[in-house]
Structure 1
Amino acid sequence: MAEEKETNKSIEEEEQVVTPWEVASGGGDKFYLYTGRGPSSEALHLGHLIPFMFTKYLQDAFKVPLVIQLTDDEKCMWKNLSVEESKRLARENAKDIIACGFDITRTFIFSDFGYLGGAFYENVVRVARCVSFNQVRGIFGFSPEDHIGKIGFPPVQAVPSFPTSFPHLFSGRDNLRCLIPCAIDQDPYFRMTRDVAPRIGYQKPALIESLFFPALQGESGKMSASDPNSAIYVTDSKNDIKKKINRHAFSGGQDSLENQRKYGANLEVDIPVKYLSFFLEDDAELEHIKKEYGAGRMLTGEVKSRLIEVLTEMVMRHREARSAVTDEMVDAFMAVRPLPGMFD
């Protein structure tokens, strides 16, 4: 399955966190999942979607609860958005997240503007007291020109790692471990968290870090909302997807038909092949494409054509699922409530 092909960099603290696979086989304690999204754009692109697909796979495989943080406060401070616009984008992004198929009986989605307070904020203060300005500047590269809102934010992203931040979910389970699937650029936040956790009496969270999903133009960049031609969006039409792949997807194929037949494609740099490695569910077909394309028996246009088919089907399926997500469903996922069957 596509979600099983998440490119993972590391699992932090694997020797201490009973791994999800051990839990699934009947050994070890339960755990909960935590992931998040900074809502800075109207719609998600595929680079945003992949971590949620992988997180859904983990939730389905191990039958564990999940908390999803929408950092609308962060984007308000970093992207110079109004509070109202940040909150609106959080709800719009929540619809895309819900469309991934998360189990509402095991999932709590919250926005910082809506949830920060109570036990959650108490943990924010506990973390903040343990991190000096020099430390946070060294970790995140803050400059004298950055406003204090940015400097004070990291503990807000840290504390969903601790079950006591969610008393309505985990009351009496203070030692429940947390597993965080996230992109590699979030590593500084959670290295800080793991350093502070034992000092305030909490378990260190574990991480599964994914590499960046590459931009269409090549491995040198990641998909970015600031460059629409670098990314495939879940709002793109069939024609948009076709144009972006044909015009912008970097090819490892040769510069002529003769050379392609003679030398074959460089699969290490070919973006269509890399995307198919993420999204083509048929492993046998993927290996066939790699073999034929690498040997020069398949052309760039053929590989791009297959990728267009795969991405179009996935995006259309996601769009259909999103269209069924109502405001009432968003309210239900974001309601502060117990999840009595979350480990069943």
Structure 2
Amino acid sequence: MSILDENIPIFKYFEEISKIPHGSFHEEKIADYVESFAKEHDFKYVRDDMNNVIIYKGATPGYEDHDTIMLQAHMDMVCEKNKDVDFDFETDALNLYVEDGWLKAKGTTLGADDGFGVSYMLSILSDDTLKHPNLECVFTVQEEVGLLGSINLKKEYFNAKKMIGLDGGGEVSTCTTTSGGRYAYVNKTCTFEDVDKPTYKLTIKGLDGGHSGACIDKEKGNSIKILFRVLQTLKDIQIVSVNGGLKENAIPREAEATFVSDIQPNINQIVADLKTEFEFSDSKLDIQLEETEKVTQAFTSKDTNELIT
């Protein structure tokens, strides 16, 4: 049963594409869907070797002499989920629900960026009551990982000199820049040594996260930074493992570290400080420390201190 009003085409199409896996680099199935849509409506279209799709719709009577308009949205989404959620973004349909009037996905990102833009174009193309000039509707791929699909587009695909991008940052604002990104790879040789000490697991979770561009000014907590701030307060520990974050363009929401120590760790003060610091921007911040199954090897104290600092 549909949870959205299927009489509203935008909702109908969004719910349909939410059933199709469409993470970055895995847009083949949603491109198949858009191509099938074009064939079903007898639209001229182009699909390139990266799975970008461009659908062309002719002007309605009286608008033939108006300038051609390009509409654009990207088909890929950022695939993030809570650690305790069993979900495979390459095979599973998003589990949609409505809460307090907001459409959400259970335990995962929703993909409204830019699934709603895709749905908007599909609803425009399917509506023969709208008056419009010639349309070039561009469905791109791999936007979230560097606009790679757009870079692959060929100029011969287009006649439009005007474009409306349906991947906006707000209806009452104009974007003059965008989120930056940089990949940094740090290679460090670390030495493991045998240990016979109590083992602990430190977990950071409950953060809101968000887009690294659109949400970067909201003072949201970064789980990786918070994790290491807690580790910095502990004495005589040796790290076993550290893991955190899922996507390069998403503010990390969860992180964890396993370490050994002869000293019973006490994180009460730093937890209280962090809870106060993020009281308004991340009120659900959850920091947990528990003793866990003993390990037999850990990084040396020297390597641990270098990793933390």
Q: When you count strand as a share of all residues, which structure comes out higher?
A: 2
Higher relative contact order at CA 8 Å, sep ≥6: structure 1 or structure 2?
1
